[in-house]
Chains A and B, each alone.
Chain A
Amino acid sequence: MAQVTTAGWVGRGALRIEDDKLLKGRGVFTDDLHLPGMVHLAFVRSPHAHARIRAIRTEHAAAVPGVLAVLTGHDLAALCKPIYVDVIFPSYKAPSRPVVAIDAVKFVGDPARNNPRLCDTAGRSFHIV
């Protein structure tokens, strides 16, 4: 147990000021936010550790009432650059990857598609082969 001192902060515990709201269920996390015009996004994730994507059929998902858009890896590649982990080891070669898989998935859970949704149905309406 640290010795308690009466002067300064060394050796003294400090109680957190944020606990009260967190303990009463009044904390606000990202999923608790409601913003004007907000829509929802669902990802279709790979069930395979490593697999080639030969085709993705999005028509059924796009036809689900309430679906605003169905975006594939190709669509997102046009909007944002590939991502990589910025490591500073001198000899490390950072492999880059698309934000959403394009031709292949590389781990279980690798997002193969994302689609804004108003319900789960659309996310289950994909056919990826």
Chain B
Amino acid sequence: MADGISIRVTVNGAVHERTVEPRLLLADFLRHELGLTGTHLGCEHGVCGACTVLVDGASARSCLLFAAQLDGARITTVEGLARDGEPQPIHDAFHENHALQCGYCTPGFLVTVHELLTENPEPTEAEVREALSGNLCRCTGYVNIIKAVLDAARRLRASGQRPVLR
């Protein structure tokens, strides 16, 4: 590639070296270059939160970042939230509280919730609402998602676990 930029990124624990076009979005890099299609694009302009991933542990919109910016970064996608493919307390809480329907927005929610519960193991409902304010869900609505997050926090505290990253 004539105008390629070489990057080395760690995604879900695996190191990838690629040469990318300067304008390639992180979301498209994850989905098309690495085949990690769990990260979804809803709006492609930073409003819906479906494409949220963790960059060095902090949530970020993968539709608002260029892959070329991320040389050396450690990225976690929804695929990286399941330890050895096993569901974690946040997954269980979403499942048992009916916090998803079509599942399109769910990866972004899970990543956001992962960050919240890592930083704040005992959030209030208001804090959960605030944390989720950048993620849109168009079918489940938010009531069951908020219930699931509070339930996930309880499960994690009861088990003495922290949310796990791969």
Do A and B bind?
Answer: yes
B104 contacts A by Cβ under 8 Å: yes
B98 within 8 A of A: yes
Question: Do A24 and B41 form a contact, CB below 8 Å, given A16-B98, A29-B104?
Answer: no
B94 interfacial by beta-carbon distance below 8 Å:
yes
Q: Which of B36, B77, B104 has the most CB of A within 10 A?
A: B104
B37 proximal to A (CB < 8 A): yes
- Kindly identify which residue among B40, B77, B98, B100 contacts A23, using a CB–CB cutoff of 8 Å: B100
A22 adjacent to B100 (CB under 8 Å): yes
Q: Is the CB of A22 within 8 A of B106?
A: yes
User: CB of A25 within 8 A of chain B?
Assistant: yes
Interface of A is mostly: loop
Q: A15-B95, A15-B96, A31-B41 are in contact. Are A23 and B106 (CB under 8 A)?
A: yes
Chain A: number of interface residues, binned into ranges = 10 to 19
Give chain B residues whose Cβ lies under 8 Å from the Cβ of A19. Answer: 94-95, 100, 103
Tell me, yes or no, whether A20 is within 8 Å of chain B by CB: yes
Provide the residues of chain A in CB contact with B38, threshold 8 Å. 24-27
Nearest residue in A to B12 (C-beta to C-beta)? A25
> What is the bound-complex CA distance between A52 and B106, given in angstroms?
41
A32 CB within 8 Å of chain B: yes
